[in-house]
Amino acid sequence: MTIRVLLADDQPLLTATFRLLIDSQPDLEVVAEAADGQRAVELTRRHRPDVVVLDIRMPRMDGLAATEAIGADPELSLTRVLILTTFETDEYVARALRAGASGFVGKDVSADGLLAAIRTVAGGEALLSPTATQALIARFLATPEPAERPELSGLLAGLTTREREIVALVARGHPNGEIAQLLTISPLTVRTHIQRAMAKLRARDRAQLVVIAYQSGLVRPTTPADR
């Protein structure tokens, strides 16, 4: 099955390079390109790609606003957003995840790294490493708005003990294989629990599952002393 990709960046040379790289893969195909966020949203609605690769700083509408627009459209619920940018600041990563992005990588990523990122996001996973992104989520998303806590607590009440345990491990950055080893269960069982938890928590992907885990208080941010 071919993964359909939309590229959005205001640097034509970079976009052309990414297109050549992606189109060289038998399982990937670039279906459209956009030079600004507004056009990216329009083309996403037209082509319904599996993955939208978005830069953050673009004219007319930036990548974060475009991510929010895509995430808010119920007809685009199967489209994943991968943020690709030179601005890997704490604030941008946190805002991108809040906006509904499934991944966040820098433009210094290797060719193989970018291809792997697209495939990972298309598969419903998120680019959340224990050492980097997970720490940013902990820092920026651990303190929810007061109005959000009752709703999130109610959703958490619907999880089984095992589902809560697995969601917590996901939020700490563990991939499915590690979770399976830690709990002595199969990776397929882990995936099934994660999918059920996502459905109960109304999370569209793994990134939002992690956000909810921190916002609800299921997982607390670590401190230097904890580490």
CA 214 to chain centre: 15
pLDDT for res 163: 95
Q: How far apart are CA 68 and CA 98, in angstroms?
A: 9
CA 100 to chain centre: 7
Per-residue pLDDT of the chain (227 residues; tens, 9 = 90+): 899 999 999 999 989 999 999 999 999 999 999 999 999 999 999 999 999 999 988 988 999 899 999 988 989 988 999 988 776 566 677 777 777 888 888 787 889 989 988 998 898 777 654 444 555 555 555 554 444 455 566 778 889 999 999 999 988 878 788 899 999 999 899 989 998 998 898 887 777 788 788 777 787 765 444 44
CATH number of 145-215: 1.10.10.10
Please list the residue range(s) of the chain that carry CATH number 3.40.50.2300: 3-127
CA-CA distances (angstroms) from residue 132 to 115, 127, 150, 214? 20, 10, 29, 15
In DSSP terms, 82 is beta-bridged to 53, 103
- Cα torsion through 166, 171, 174, 179, rounded to 10: 0
Say whether 106 sits in a helix, a strand or coil: strand
CA 194, 201, 41 angle in degrees (round to 5)? 95
Q: How far apart are CA 46 and CA 99, in angstroms?
A: 21
Please list the residue range(s) of the chain that carry CATH number 1.10.10.10: 145-215
What lies within 8 Å, CB to CB, of 50 at 6+ separation is 3, 4, 5, 78, 79, 80, 122
Q: What six digits make up the tokens of 144?
A: 């929810």
CATH class of the 3-127 domain in this structure: alpha beta
